[in-house]
Each structure stands twice: as structure tokens, then as C-alpha cells.
Structure 1
Amino acid sequence: MHSTLLGSSPIKHTLVSKHHGPLPALSLREMEAKQHQIKSLKSYPETGGRSLAAAAGADGCRAAEMDMEAKIQKAIDFKAEGHRCYKEKKFREAIGKYHRALLQLKGVHLVDGTTGSEVNLLNQATGKLTEDQRRAVQTTEIECYDNLTACLLQSELVNYERVKEYCLKVLSHQRDHFKAMYRAGIAFYHLGDYECALRYLRDAKNREPSDTNVLRYIQLTEMKMSKCSQRERESCKETQG
């Protein structure tokens, strides 16, 4: 009796999921397609890797671009705070704000010490800055360095070496910047380099021929150079005598 029942009831081999009941059987075409995909991945594993790397690179580049935009905006904000402090004659605070603005812009110019991958992403982002962004970076740098020199010249003990450095940075961006030429002349004068002082002061005079401060420093510089040359002539006479 048991054998009759077993013979008349054929067993159906159905795949059963542990939690979701029977799984639908795959068609022959679907099975062949899946096998082809598996073979392709085994034969060309780098294909999937490249697409993933490209996607990651694109995401990283977009993130770097957003980071650059944020840095530029922060720099502009710090510069504005520096201007406010300068107008209130809080020169030390103004100097701090201008330095913080410039630190933000160093991120745009690829500061040393970043990892190789970060440099690549930043490089790509910097190359994609719009013309307005590039102009904003340059304008912010010029204004910060220019106002830093103005703050330093208000100090009781002026650091003329630093004044010279900042003026030259401004002139590297804008060669005809009148204040930078004039202040560079003052810095070189107080550092004892009268030839350089006279050169920058004359350049400033060409921009503003009637500026009394420029004319006064030109006169002072020429007097110093005259005294130096007179001393040199006297020392030469003593040596020859």
C-alpha cells in the first residue's frame, strides 16, 4: 500500500526560501545572462574597479570644489572683519583677521603638507575656479596685504622688514599699486637700502606727481644718499692719504 502511494505521487523539486516561500524558477535565457556577467567580471575585473574609482573621483572633485568656494567666502568674511577693526583703530585685531583671511586662501593655493590624493583633488578644483572666483581670490589677497602694511605702520615699533615683504606681495599682483610702491619706498628707506627706496618712491611719484608725502621721502632719501657718498669720498681720501 505504501509502495502504491509513493508511485502515484511524484515528488516535485521546488526551491524553498527559508523565510519567503518558493523562489520562482529562472528561465534559460536569464541563467545564461547571469553566467555571462559572472564570466565578464572574472575576465575583466578592472572594469568594475575603474567605474567605481571614476565615481569616487567625481564625488571627491565636487567636494573639493565646494571646499574651495567655502574657503574663498571665509576669506572674504575675515577681510571684512579686518576692515571693520581697522576703522575702529583696533590694529592688532585687524592684523589677526587679515592673517586668518590669508590662511583660508592658502587652501586655494595648495598648501604643502597635504596628502597626494588631496593635492590632486585640490588641483582639479583650483583649475575649475570661475573667473569671478579667481578675481575674488586676487582682490582679497591684495587688500589683506595692503591693509596689513597700513596696520604695521601704526605700530610703535614698526617691523619694516615685514612691511617690505607685504608691499612686494601686493606689487607682484598689481605692479602699479600706488600705496604699495610708496610704502615699499618707506620700508627700504628705514632699512637703509636707499637705492631701492628711491626707485620705488620715484615709481610712486610717477603715479601721483603731487603727493607731498612721496616728495618728502624722495628728498629725505636723496639727502641720505648724498651723505653716504660724501662719507665714501672722505674715506677714499683717507685711504689714499
Structure 2
Amino acid sequence: MEAAGGEESMGAAAAAEEPSLSRPVRTPAKPVWTSLEEATQMKTEGNAFYRERNIRSAIGRYHRALLVLRGLDSDVMASVEGFGPQAPALTPEQETVLRNTQVDCYNNLAACLLQRQKVDYTRVKDYSLRVLQWRPGDVKALYRAGVATLEMGDAQTAQKYLSQACRAQPNDANVRKHLQRAEEKLNRDLQKEKAMCQGMFSSSLKSSSAEQITKTHRTDEGV
């Protein structure tokens, strides 16, 4: 796993840590390969920061790499047409580098967020699902999507993601642990549902029985 930034001042780092990935980005006046290499370099720096456990800086580098790549992504730029130049046409090789770098950055962002003291599971899930959109069988993304979904309370969906991850890596202890957690939660929820249904059924029987006794009592009294 890889991650981003540390030499900025605290104020600048806080401002740059998670820049908006939804705002329109103008395509820089640079050759495509120059922009791809710039994004790849930022990702590499992020990986180094992640290995040093400098999560804050790692996040910053990954976000910056993604912002550079947005200007080259025809899918993204088509949705913000009118804000700037069209995305340049990419060769198949450039398209591969673009997608692979995006996948790595989103995967690593999810890993970074899971290292924080207060985890934003909604964002972990979002980043992981973006990876799965481009690379459906990515085990790391399946695992992190499962963990995030489980922590958000959806054990059924978490089981789906974690089961896929477990089939791909059956010996991974972390995957198996969280899959077991999801299955245990599903089992507890099922038991609660059964108990609730039994309680409702028992209450209904008691109510019917009490009503029948009342009717019988009234009949005996000649009412």
C-alpha cells in the first residue's frame, strides 16, 4: 500500500489536504505525458509519506494527483463542458496509465482514511466503489468497501463485498475476520427479528385468549 505531503506549513497543509475533487479543472497547457508523469510522481511521493505513517501528507499528495488527472479524463470533462478546454485525446497506453494511477490513488486514499483516529467510513466506501467501478475484482477495494459498509450498519452488503474478497484471498486473516463479523451481525439481526415475530405472535394469542375468556364469562352470566 502506498500514500502523500509534509513540508507545507500547517495552515497550507490543512487547506490542501482534501481539495474538492468535484470542481471543474481546466486542462493544463502541458503535453499529456507530462501531466501523467506529474500525477505519477505525486502518487509516488504519497506512497513514501504513507510508509512513513505521515497520513495527512499522503492524503494531500493523492488528492493533488487526482486533480491533475481530472483534466485528462474525458469522462469527467464531458460532465463539465463549457468550463474549459476539452480533455485531450489519449492513446490506449496513456488511458491505461491514467486509470491505473486513479485506481491506485483512490485505493490508497481509502487506506489512509482507515488509519485515522476518527474514520470517515462514508468516504472510505465512496473511494473504494470508485476503484471497483474501474476494476471490479480489486480485492483491496472489496475489503475496504466491506469494512466501511459494515461499520455503517449494512451487514448484508458488507457480507457481499467481503465474501468476494474472501473468495479471491481465502487465507487473508483480516478479510476472514471482518466477514465473520458481518455474518455474526446478520445472525444477531435474524435472531432479533425472530424474537420480535414470536413476541408479536404471543401477544396476539394472549389477546385472543383473553377476548375468548371474556366472551365465555359474559355468556355464563347471561349477558
- Please give the TM-score of this superposition, normalised by the length of structure 2: 0.72
Preserved CA contact (<8 Å) 2:121 2:152: yes
SS in structure 1 of the partner of residue 85 of structure 2: helix
Aligned length: 173
Aligned residue in 1 for 2:70: 106
More helix by share: 1
Aligned residue in 2 for 1:137: 98
Task: Give yes or no for the alignment of 1:230 onto 2:191.
Answer: yes
Aligned residue in 2 for 1:86: 50
* Cα distance in 2 between the residues matched to 1:169 and 1:76: 18
Cα offset for 1:69? 3.2
Runs of 5+ in structure 1 lacking a partner?
Answer: 1-62
* Cα distance in 1 between the residues matched to 2:82 and 2:67: 18
Preserved CA contact (<8 Å) 2:128 2:145: yes
* Cα distance in 2 between the residues matched to 1:136 and 1:65: 19
* Cα distance in 2 between the residues matched to 1:204 and 1:113: 35
* Cα distance in 2 between the residues matched to 1:229 and 1:180: 28
Which gives a bigger RCO, structure 1 or 2 (Cα 8 Å, sep 6+)? 2
Task: Give yes or no for the alignment of 1:149 onto 2:116.
Answer: no
* Cα distance in 1 between the residues matched to 2:64 and 2:36: 12
Cα offset for 1:118? 2.0
Cα offset for 1:65? 8.2
The 1:87/1:64 distance shift into structure 2, 3 A limit, reads closer
Preserved CA contact (<8 Å) 1:184 1:197: yes
Aligned residue in 2 for 1:95: 59
Task: Give yes or no for the alignment of 1:161 onto 2:122.
Answer: yes
Aligned residue in 2 for 1:194: 155
* Cα distance in 1 between the residues matched to 2:80 and 2:170: 46
Cα offset for 1:66? 4.2
* Cα distance in 2 between the residues matched to 1:117 and 1:182: 37
Aligned residue in 2 for 1:18: none
Q: Following superposition of structure 1 onto structure 2, how do residues 1-241 of structure 1 map, counting pairs within 5 Å?
A: 66-109=30-73, 110-111=76-77, 113=80, 115=82, 118-119=85-86, 122=87, 125-126=88-89, 129-240=90-201, 241=203
Amino acid of the structure 2 residue aligned with 1:81: E
Amino acid of the structure 1 residue aligned with 2:93: D
Cα offset for 1:201? 0.7
Q: Percent identity?
A: 36
How much is the aligned-residue C-alpha RMSD, in angstroms?
Answer: 2.0
Amino acid of the structure 2 residue aligned with 1:118: P
The 1:116/1:104 distance shift into structure 2, 3 A limit, reads closer
Preserved CA contact (<8 Å) 1:68 1:107: no
The 1:108/1:239 distance shift into structure 2, 3 A limit, reads same
* Cα distance in 1 between the residues matched to 2:175 and 2:195: 30
- CA displacement 1:24-70 (0-9 Å, x = unmatched): xxxxxxxxxxxxxxxxxxxxxxxxxxxxxxxxxxxxxxx98844333
Runs of 5+ in structure 2 lacking a partner?
Answer: 1-26, 204-223
Cα offset for 1:114? 5.5
Cα offset for 1:178? 1.1
* Cα distance in 1 between the residues matched to 2:182 and 2:190: 12
Q: Which runs of 4+ in 1 moved over 4 A?
A: 63-67
